[in-house]
Structure 1
């Protein structure tokens, strides 16, 4: 702007004309910027409005609100109305929505409660990885795909979108139940092992060499991060809590947000999903939430942002790719494998809690959601899986994401307390 004004003065323009001339020079850039912001605001408006309507409508029908939010994303997305599309900004908002959802879930989860179900959570996670991996690989082989493509298909089945299950459990007010604690604990372990598998399979897909040292390093960093946050962060917070209370910012909602976003970022740097860091941050702050007032404010923020995340899952679903009968048939078979393997893994791993509780755990591990799409997208970008295989994975993701929460809600039935 200084250079522009100096050039104006060089032709002896009257001083009162300078603002007008400056605006004339930068008008096109300003208009372009305003148009971009306006377009983004309109998309966000359509998305949030559709998510609220879908949430209300499905609640009236006795179905999980989260399913209505996903369906709303399909309606306003490229598949139907096409008023909302994928962009870096919308993806970032969706990611932040997932972060605050899991941050809120963490605030409602005590570390000591997870320790009580540690054995069951470990068994559920291990069986929930081994069985889908085997089932997905043999599905790929039977379809005539090569080893690498079959491994990618298997990896999409390993993924679990715990955010979807966590939201249903939150809606039902049962996050303090043992089966819910097993699901959340298994999800943390599942994420660590699942991302390690993805790193290995991705290396094979790119034609890179996979070393045992690299695999152990990835696993060690992931496990070390979780252990450091829980086993070091919580005792430190308890020890210095009285001193922290005297700090000017200690009681503020802003500091809680800083902790959530900070651990989400560190989690990403450690190779884990950001939602795991946010979940762990919530668990740490759960130890002191009774002495502070930030929980209700975090819930208000999550109540706005989480629907953006779920609606964007729907936006990504391309219904046009599902028109082929062969894709629908193969996708249906893949869905059956995806449901049975996770269901059996969760049921077997949590059987010590009783049959109904074990069945709830198995259902809670079924949704693949955006995590399955991410894994499939990586395989597609590497050229390892073909578009028809990607479409089959979309069928599986769509069905497990929509049907599992409905089944979970039905099984929970009327014996659950109403959410506060």
Structure 2
């Protein structure tokens, strides 16, 4: 029954800390992330990472990205695909070079250095999505570019990870053509399902006389798309996001969104935010403090400026480019999964594991505040131009 107490503590602390964050002018998601650090091993030690919290948080992030898909303007997403691609490519290239150079500077082997470089490339926009949503920027040109870039980024990182594990002899030999073909097949099936299958499924469920069938249908589709994405070697959040976009094109969008949001943000999403913070621990990191500081700065700077450059080269102004780059900074749960894979396969030196996890948490914690700061500056600048 301990999980009941843990759930109560998580919900209590996330709502209080979220409100405190808003009081000092920060996004509530920052407070909710810090609640996990406070409740976890790093501070109070009241809650540990358990299978219950992990599974609950998995649902939380999938629902969060599903709702993001529901609220995304598909036409805006299509219009900014070139920018999204440029942001993703340069947002992988810069971190890869920076991470690799830093790893070699600290005396890591070639294999460990390449893996750290790959870890730097990961992006998780689930935290950015929540911050953008709070600022009503999720459907902006910048917001849709960040979401589109995240999809491309995930594909690039998955392909690079498979190639790296194959080359270094820690995974099965892979065919690059087959790997890319698998991703193409995934998107082909998803697009076909969005056009023909999803409207039929929603129409069918709408005829049922049992309670809340439309919401259940939306959740079923989101989970099915997420499972299919994982099966095809793509992050489940991409599948959930695609499911949201698919249902947003039907007349049931408002029903699903308005009835799912209270459950999502009332229960599941707070557990996801806390689970990120539960991964941090300060045991034995004193001797690696310089390493932690440098990899955190490098991880933030290379992803931010790489993404910003991609946006700038495709027509965004300076402030909007910086906002897009900032939205790509968070490594979140994607990097945590990759780090776990590297540890189990021997590509990540166990000596640096805790330090790298701290770096991942740092990038995740700074993203909401940076986004709020840059967007507030953009709005101030816009108002000044209008006044003049």
Q: With the length of structure 2 as denominator, give the TM-score of the two structures.
A: 0.90
The answer to whether the 8 Å contact 1:335/1:399 transfers is yes
SS at match of 2:137: coil
Alignment-derived partner of residue 350 in structure 2: 387
The answer to whether the 8 Å contact 1:373/1:393 transfers is no
Indicate the larger mover: 346-355 or 182-191.
346-355
Give the drift of 1:285: 0.4
1:243-258 matches, within 5 Å, as: 244=204, 247-248=207-208, 252-258=214-220
Structure 1, residues 307-360: CA drift from partner, whole Å, max 9, x if none? 110101001111224333xx1211211122212221222111111121111111
Candidates 209, 234, 255, aligned match of 2:194: 234
Q: Distance in 2 between matches of 1:84 and 1:54?
A: 16
Aligned-residue RMSD, C-alpha: 2.2
Candidates 84, 90, 94, aligned match of 1:121: 84
Matched, 1:160 2:129: no
Distance 1:291 1:180, change over 3 A: closer
Give the drift of 1:367: 1.0
Alignment-derived partner of residue 274 in structure 1: 236
Q: Distance in 1 between matches of 2:43 and 2:202?
A: 55
Matched, 1:374 2:334: no
Q: Which has the larger radius of gyration?
A: 1
5+ long unaligned stretches in structure 1: 1-37
Give the drift of 1:292: 5.2
Q: Distance in 1 between matches of 2:3 and 2:200?
A: 43
Runs of 4+ in 1 over 3 A off after TM superposition: 202-211, 237-246, 289-292
Q: Distance in 2 between matches of 1:383 and 1:257?
A: 37
Distance 1:271 1:333, change over 3 A: same
Candidates 159, 177, 185, aligned match of 2:148: 185
Distance 1:335 1:246, change over 3 A: closer
Structure 1, residues 171-227: CA drift from partner, whole Å, max 9, x if none? 11111100100000000111111112122223445534634x2x3322221232123
Alignment-derived partner of residue 311 in structure 1: 274
Distance 1:374 1:209, change over 3 A: closer
Alignment-derived partner of residue 348 in structure 1: 309
Q: Distance in 1 between matches of 2:283 and 2:109?
A: 26
Q: Distance in 1 between matches of 2:168 and 2:12?
A: 40
Between Structure 1 and Structure 2, how many residues are aligned?
374
Indicate the larger mover: 401-410 or 200-209.
200-209
Matched, 1:339 2:300: yes
Distance 1:376 1:246, change over 3 A: closer
Give the drift of 1:235: 2.3
Indicate the larger mover: 106-115 or 393-402.
393-402
Matched, 1:222 2:183: yes
Q: With the length of structure 1 as denominator, give the TM-score of the two structures.
A: 0.84
Q: Distance in 2 between matches of 1:206 and 1:93?
A: 34
Matched, 1:70 2:33: yes
